[in-house]
Structure 1
Amino acid sequence: MVNIKDVAKKAGVSVTTVSRVLNNRGYIGKETRKKVEKAMADIDYSPNQIARALQKSQSYLLGVIVPDSEHPFFAELIKNIEIFAYKNNYKILICNSLDEAEKETKYIGMLKENRVDGIIMCSQTLDIEEYRKVKLPIVSFDRIMSNNIPYVGSDNFNGGTIATQHLIESGCKYLLHLSGPLDIDVLPNRRADAFKLTCMKHDIPFKVIEQEYSRKSFSFYKNYEKFIEEQVAHELAKYDGVFCSNDMLAYALYIHARKNNIHVPEQLKIVGYDYTSFTRMLQNPKLTTIKQPADRLGRELCSTLVKMIEDKEGDKPNNTIIDVELIKGETT
């Protein structure tokens, strides 16, 4: 069986250089990398991942816990985490908590049993103290957990400000915000804070209606449709602008308005949040929304965790906030 020494001999480089190429560590010139990769192909060399893992006491596995990978935003986020992980020779294990604390607890235990090197935590059902007990490198998405657990998120407060300001500048006089539950201490709730402050700054009457998470239906759209029919519809005539906490909710609101002869954007203006592939595919209408870039968020989540794993003696990675931007569509 060929080994790393054979590759080095074939490529005319040192074993250390081959090791750097395999582990994507340190500076390697393009020509040198090509020589090593060609040598591996020529002699049919495949690195023994199990042996490498045992040698470095690593599994090269990352756990990713999300509320639900069916949701367009988390589907796109997972894809981008996986892309960066692959480039750095890691694989990912995906777990869906479905917003259930018991399930999330069991998944954390399962990931530890499978000796993952670290966890990207996008689900947020447990008390913060429970995450501190995990004893593995953790990076949080959109939640501040502790000084030892870095977080990555979009600029939710600025996103809420931009969305609300845009509605006001579009002529809206009475504003509504449809949010997730605000009793959970997570960064996306800063969108509601920004909405309220911007409305008060401009003396705009406003209201916030919270949606409680429910798993009775496994269709996000049906959940949003039910929320609008039961909690929003009777209030809608009072408002001429709505800022929705995500694009699927914004689209469900648009469909409800169309069914009830409420003209968008003439009578009701709508702004969403996310700008995922779901939103980009919509042509009728093209939603006005706030873009939080899932590609950059996924890359930062994965790169922060990899840094924690591979630089155990180094400083804790910084928290990262990613800029957002308004995407003007046909609903404002």
Structure 2
Amino acid sequence: MPSIKDVAKKAGVSVTTVSRVLNNRGYISKETRRKVEQAMKEIDYTPNQIARALQRNQTYLLGVIVPDSNHPFFAELIKYIEMYAHEQNYKILICNSADNREKEEKYIAMLRENRVDGIIMCSHTLDIEEYKKVKLPIVSFDRIIAEDIPYVCSDNFRGGTLATEYLISKGCQRLLHISGPLDLDMLSNRRADAFKLTCMNHNIPFKIIECEFNKLTFDYYWQLINDKVSRELDHFDGVFCSNDMVAYALYVYAYQQGIKVPEQLKIIGYDFHSFTRMLQIPKLTTIKQPIDNIGKILCSTLIKMVTGPEEEMISNTIVDVELIEGDTA
């Protein structure tokens, strides 16, 4: 079985240089790196990852727990987390919790058994105290867990304000918001706070209908609109939706019912993920979360926690949003 010495001999460099290439440490010229990587390929050298991990007390593995990897937002977020992790020579293990407490507990245990260096938490079914017991670096998406667990989120309050003010500027006089479950302490619920406050500041009548957080499919949103939202549409001329999938489901329902969008009903979503960008008829009016930047910050924050001084406090990050004008509002 080829060794690191064989690689060094084949590439015409020192063992130390090969080690630096493998560990991505110190300055290595592009030509030297190319020679080492070519030598590894020619003699079929594969680093012993387990031995290297034990030696460094670091596996270069990161866990990512999401509620549903099939949801367009989380699918795209995983894509950017993986891209940035790869650039930093990390690999990721993806876990689908389905917002199920038991599954999330089992996945956290599995990630610890596999000696991951840290976890990106995008699913939050456990009590705060349970996350504190994990004893691994954690960065949270869209939830405040503890002072020593940093979070990354979009500016949900500003997004809610932008959406509501835009509907009002377009002449809406009665507004509806389809939100997530407001009993959960999620930062995304700041969108509902901003909606409510903006409506009150403008003396606009409003109502909020809550979604269930553990049901993120188009079928669920379609059922929600038929069961709850449809009976309200005669009373409202503008709807701010908590995500783009429910906004599109509402548009389809309105179209089938002969409700003209945006003439009779104006609709704004939230996310601007690949699903939204793919749709051009109609082009959805929405609030853009920069998913690429969120993914990069989640990953870089966790790596900083893994590699930095243990006592160093890592700050939270709130990423700016923007309004994307489309055909539905």
Please say if residues 144 and 187 of structure 1, whose CA atoms lie closer than 8 Å, have aligned partners that are also in contact: yes
Structure 2, unpaired ranges of 5+: none
Q: Counterparts of 1:36 and 1:189 in 2: how far apart (Å)?
A: 51
The one-letter amino acid of 2:265's match is L
From the superposition, tell whether residues 99 and 13 of structure 1 become closer, same or farther in structure 2 (CA, over 3 Å). same
Q: Counterparts of 2:51 and 2:111 in 1: how far apart (Å)?
A: 20
1:208-240, Cα deviation, whole Å (9 max, x unpaired): 11123455xxx7111101111111111111111
From the superposition, tell whether residues 55 and 223 of structure 1 become closer, same or farther in structure 2 (CA, over 3 Å). same
Greater Cα shift, 93-102 or 19-28: 19-28
1:118-153, Cα deviation, whole Å (9 max, x unpaired): 111100111111101111111111111111111111
Q: Counterparts of 2:26 and 2:173 in 1: how far apart (Å)?
A: 57
Q: Counterparts of 1:15 and 1:147 in 2: how far apart (Å)?
A: 44
Greater Cα shift, 202-211 or 30-39: 30-39
The one-letter amino acid of 2:195's match is F
Q: Which residue of 2 aligns with 1:225?
A: 222
The one-letter amino acid of 2:235's match is K
Q: Which residue of 2 aligns with 1:170?
A: 170
For 1:208, what is the secondary structure of its paired residue?
A: strand
The one-letter amino acid of 1:286's match is K
Q: Which residue of 2 aligns with 1:118?
A: 118
From the superposition, tell whether residues 83 and 199 of structure 1 become closer, same or farther in structure 2 (CA, over 3 Å). same
The one-letter amino acid of 1:285's match is P
How far off is 1:243 after superposition? 0.6
Report 1:8-47 matches (<5 A): 8-47=8-47
For 2:70, what is the secondary structure of its paired residue?
A: coil
Determine if the alignment matches structure 1 residue 271 to structure 2 residue 268.
Answer: yes
Greater Cα shift, 117-126 or 243-252: 117-126
User: TM-score, length-normalised on structure 2?
Assistant: 0.93
From the superposition, tell whether residues 27 and 236 of structure 1 become closer, same or farther in structure 2 (CA, over 3 Å). farther
User: TM-score, length-normalised on structure 1?
Assistant: 0.92
Q: Which residue of 2 aligns with 1:199?
A: 199
From the superposition, tell whether residues 320 and 20 of structure 1 become closer, same or farther in structure 2 (CA, over 3 Å). farther
Q: Counterparts of 1:71 and 1:120 in 2: how far apart (Å)?
A: 17
The one-letter amino acid of 1:189's match is N
Q: Which residue of 2 aligns with 1:50?
A: 50
Percentage of identical aligned residues: 71
Report 1:139-154 matches (<5 A): 139-154=139-154
From the superposition, tell whether residues 26 and 266 of structure 1 become closer, same or farther in structure 2 (CA, over 3 Å). farther
Q: Which residue of 2 aligns with 1:128?
A: 128
The one-letter amino acid of 2:313's match is K
How far off is 1:42 after superposition? 4.4
For 1:95, what is the secondary structure of its paired residue?
A: strand
Structure 1, unpaired ranges of 5+: none
From the superposition, tell whether residues 214 and 186 of structure 1 become closer, same or farther in structure 2 (CA, over 3 Å). closer
Q: Counterparts of 2:17 and 2:156 in 1: how far apart (Å)?
A: 43
For 2:93, what is the secondary structure of its paired residue?
A: strand
For 2:36, what is the secondary structure of its paired residue?
A: helix
Q: Counterparts of 2:264 and 2:6 in 1: how far apart (Å)?
A: 72
Q: Which residue of 2 aligns with 1:2?
A: 2
For 1:131, what is the secondary structure of its paired residue?
A: helix
Please say if residues 59 and 115 of structure 1, whose CA atoms lie closer than 8 Å, have aligned partners that are also in contact: yes
Greater Cα shift, 206-215 or 155-164: 206-215
Please say if residues 214 and 223 of structure 1, whose CA atoms lie closer than 8 Å, have aligned partners that are also in contact: no
Q: Counterparts of 1:3 and 1:62 in 2: how far apart (Å)?
A: 27
The one-letter amino acid of 1:149's match is I
1:294-315, Cα deviation, whole Å (9 max, x unpaired): 2111111111112212224351
